[in-house]
Structure 1
Amino acid sequence: MRKRIYWLLPDLGSAQRTMNELLLARVSERHIHFAAADGADMSGLHAANILQTSDLVESAQTGLLIGAGVGAAGGVAGAYELASTAAPAAVVIALAGLGAVLGTWASSMIGSSTPSRRLRRFQQAMAEGQYLLMVDTPRSRIEEIEALLEATHPEAHFEGLEPHVPAFP
Structure 2
Amino acid sequence: MKRIYFLIPNIDIARDIVEELTQSDIDEKHIHIISKEGTQLEALPEATLLQKTDFISGLERGVAIGGTTGLLAGLATLVLPGGIALSGGAILACAAAGAGVGSWLGSMIALDVPNTRHKEFEEAISQGKLLMLLDVPNEKLSSIETTVIRHYPEAVLEKVETSLL
Q: Measure the CA separation in 1 of the matches of 2:140 and 2:90.
A: 50
Is 1:146 matched up with 2:145? yes
Q: Measure the CA separation in 1 of the matches of 2:15 and 2:130.
A: 10
Is 1:165 matched up with 2:159? no
Residue 26 of structure 1 aligns with an amino acid whose one-letter code is D
Conserved in 2, the CA contact under 8 Å of 1:10 and 1:130? yes
1:52 is matched with which residue?
Answer: 51
Conserved in 2, the CA contact under 8 Å of 1:5 and 1:135? yes
TM-score normalised by structure 1 residue count: 0.92
Task: State the Cα deviation string for residues 51-93 of structure 1 (Å, max 9, x = none).
Answer: 111110011011101101100100011234112xxx4212211
Query: Considering only aligned residues, what root-mean-square deviation do their CA atoms show, in Å?
Result: 1.0
Conserved in 2, the CA contact under 8 Å of 1:78 and 1:91? no
What fraction of aligned residue pairs are identical, expressed as a percent? 31
Conserved in 2, the CA contact under 8 Å of 1:60 and 1:104? yes
Q: Measure the CA separation in 2 of the matches of 1:109 and 1:95.
A: 21
Q: Measure the CA separation in 1 of the matches of 2:47 and 2:145.
A: 20
How far the C-alpha of 1:159 sits from its partner, in A, is: 0.6
* Equivalent residue pairs, number: 162
Q: Measure the CA separation in 1 of the matches of 2:73 and 2:95.
A: 8
2:117 is matched with which residue?
Answer: 118
Is 1:135 matched up with 2:137? no
TM-score normalised by structure 2 residue count: 0.95
Q: Measure the CA separation in 2 of the matches of 1:132 and 1:13.
A: 14
1:82 to 77, 81, 84: 84
Q: Measure the CA separation in 1 of the matches of 2:163 and 2:148.
A: 20
- More displaced stretch, 73-82 vs 32-41: 73-82
